């Protein structure tokens, strides 16, 4: 069994981005600039945005954080989005989700200019993904593709089972894994809460990508010997034995499934670190005007 070290690959990717940024600036080009909109004081969102700001510093990006209280009105948020759309110094920006209930996330996402949508959530960019046109791939799926590529994991002709059909991970992953690309050419089965006999599908899978948000859901009896396991889940479960009172686990029961897997991502330290690195990569693509 080979452990897929997302933290290691993320640092490698960030080092590569930092070199590209130095070369851009040395050639007289502008410094890439990533902005983020943060609404409210959700601790997880604040931590994630703070990590993005630090990552920008590490690779030589400029970064801007626009903060609003959770009571902010849609009109105010939309006005800020339009300002960022028209700010030529900002190459790309994100709106940290989730947003308060009184704000339509879809309305905000659709207001972002597609050329600056480095999260890859705008309908135009999703459509370009489906049509195999240059686009921004949402960060988590982009990170998974890079993990598979850098570990040289064969995908051509393999059966890939994606569990979960969210617009953020499951649906784009099913498209990416079936594409006629170096990491792709899989026969893909997309499973979800209405799938019958899920175990039959997973037992036939060469590659399983689990993104359902249920701790330790995938067990050893659901996985065939030698399968590749990509665990996207990050679930907090109570654990009185540690000082924090909880621990993070994935959607895959790691201890037992790792005994059968050929490759497997840990939680934490697998897919998670790749998300920010992939967002930085998208911002670099935006700065180079490649989309």
Catalytic (active-site) positions: 52, 96, 119
Taking the C-alpha atoms of residue 152 and residue 142, their distance in angstroms, rounded to an integer, is 15
DSSP string for 161-198: EEE---TTTHHHHHHHHHSSSSS---EEEEE-TT-SSH
State the DSSP H helix or E strand holding residue 139, giving kind and residue range, or none if neither. Answer: helix 139-150
Calculate helix-pair angle for 272-287, 43-59, nearest 10 degrees: 50
The long-range contacts involving 74-80, CB below 8 angstroms and separated by at least 24 positions, are 74/102, 74/103, 74/104, 74/107, 74/108, 77/37, 77/39, 77/103, 77/108, 78/107, 78/108, 78/111, 80/37
Residues 6 or more apart whose CB falls under 8 angstroms from that of 152 comprise none
Residue with tokens 């630090």: 54
DSSP string for 100-120: PTTS-HHHHHHHS-GGGBTT-
Contact of 17 with 283, CB cutoff 8 Å = no
Across the strands, what pairs with 160? 188, 207
């Amino acid at each position: 069994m080979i452990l897929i070290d997302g933290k290691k690959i993320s640092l490698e990717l960030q080092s590569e981005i930092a070199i590209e940024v130095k070369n851009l600036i040395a050639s007289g080009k502008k410094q890439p600039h990533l902005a983020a909109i943060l609404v409210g004081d959700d601790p997880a969102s604040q931590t994630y945005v703070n990590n993005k700001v630090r990552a920008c510093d590490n690779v030589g990006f400029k970064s801007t954080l626009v903060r609003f209280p959770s009571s902010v009105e849609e009109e105010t948020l939309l006005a800020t989005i339009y300002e960022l759309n028209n700010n030529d110094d900002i190459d790309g920006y994100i709106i940290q989700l989730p947003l308060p209930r009184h704000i339509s996330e879809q309305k905000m996402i659709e207001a972002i200019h597609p050329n600056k949508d480095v999260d890859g959530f705008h309908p135009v960019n999703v459509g370009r993904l489906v049509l195999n046109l240059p686009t921004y791939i949402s960060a988590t799926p982009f990170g998974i593709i890079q993990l598979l590529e850098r570990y040289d994991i064969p995908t051509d002709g393999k059966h890939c089972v994606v569990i979960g059909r969210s617009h953020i991970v499951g649906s784009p992953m099913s498209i990416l894994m079936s594409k006629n690309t170096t990491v792709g050419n899989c026969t893909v089965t997309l499973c979800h809460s209405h799938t019958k006999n899920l175990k039959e599908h997973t037992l036939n899978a060469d590659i399983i990508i689990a993104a359902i948000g249920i701790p330790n859901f995938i067990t050893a009896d659901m996985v065939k010997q030698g399968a590749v396991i990509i665990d996207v889940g990050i679930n907090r479960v109570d654990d009185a034995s540690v000082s924090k009172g909880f621990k993070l686990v994935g959607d895959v029961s790691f201890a037992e499934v790792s005994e059968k897997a050929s490759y497997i991502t840990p939680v934490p330290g697998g897919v998670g670190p790749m998300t920010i690195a992939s967002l930085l990569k998208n911002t670099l693509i935006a700065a180079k005007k490649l989309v």
